[in-house]
Structure 1
């Protein structure tokens, strides 16, 4: 199924010159990964402490874009500048899960939002990423199949943050979006498992 992740090669191409300058300046792939994770936790903490301050939610779409760029740059640094490592692979996967949880769980603290759906969406997202990683365990590649991969979640949560930040009423409509994210997340888990098994068998 299609995913925003399919656009990543073009995004990476745009960031390659910046990655080269960062490498020349001594920036490492693991350093970028750790910085993105730490900054995600800071932004998530700010939103969790002051969820009722609606303009702060404008930080979310802005930071999600920055984080997406940082993730792409750390990949370029690892692949193209000799910084690939086993530690980096672990940090990359763990960092994504920790960052997602830190940035998305504050939605559960919004007035009128049912925490159950937000927490379930995050749990399903973690299982989805784990399923993608398990592709390598069964002899396939790391699976990024959609329709609700990391980039797709970032786009939806970023739009939600933007809507809240510009004054959209907070309420039960967010529950319906979270429920849809959960459903699409379950479809993603099935797609990744099926495609991993198909690739391994082939």
Structure 2
């Protein structure tokens, strides 16, 4: 099913010159991974401690875009500049779910947003990423099937953050958006598990 993740290769092509410069400067994939996590935690803290301020919410789409860029760069540094490591694999997977939690859980504290839906989205997001990793455990590839992967969650929360920053506080609107995200997250878990089993069976 279609997902924002399918645009990754084009995004990487744009970032490849910068990636080469970083590699030449001695920047490692693990350093970039940790930088993305620190950036996410800082933004998450701003959202949590200043829920009445528009600026952190308006900045969220930019922070999410920067995080996406850093995530793409750390992968290219690892694959294309001989920086793959077991530690890097652990940091990459844990960093993603920790960053998601830091950036998205503050939405649950907003009075006009369903906290249960937000927490559910974060939990299903973690389960979805775990399901993707389990593919490797059973002998398939790391699964990134959609329709609602990491990049798609970023688009949803980035949009919601921007709307909140503009002063939109419609409980119904955010209920519909987050409920849709919850259903798509559940479907993503199903699709990843199904695809991993199918790949394994055909191997």
TM value normalised by structure 2: 0.97
Aligned-partner Cα distance in 2 for 1:119–1:191:
21
Per the TM alignment, residue 156 of structure 1 is displaced from its structure 2 partner at its CA by 1.1
Residue 23 of structure 1 corresponds to 23
Per the TM alignment, residue 169 of structure 1 is displaced from its structure 2 partner at its CA by 2.6
- Tell me, which stretches of 5 or more residues in structure 2 are unaligned? none
- Tell me, which stretches of 5 or more residues in structure 1 are unaligned? none
- RMSD of aligned alpha carbons: 0.9
Q: Which structure 2 residues correspond to residues 150-161 of structure 1 after superposition, within 5 A?
A: 150-161=150-161
Per the TM alignment, residue 167 of structure 1 is displaced from its structure 2 partner at its CA by 2.2
CA contact (8 A) 1:23 1:81 kept: yes
Q: Which structure 2 residues correspond to residues 38-77 of structure 1 after superposition, within 5 A?
A: 38-77=38-77
Residue 3 of structure 2 corresponds to 3
Per the TM alignment, residue 175 of structure 1 is displaced from its structure 2 partner at its CA by 2.1
Aligned-partner Cα distance in 2 for 1:145–1:183:
15
Q: Give aligned pairs, total.
A: 202
Residue 149 of structure 1 corresponds to 149
Q: Which structure 2 residues correspond to residues 90-129 of structure 1 after superposition, within 5 A?
A: 90-129=90-129
Aligned-partner Cα distance in 2 for 1:127–1:169:
29
Aligned-partner Cα distance in 2 for 1:177–1:153:
11
Deviates more, 1:29-38 or 1:48-57: 48-57
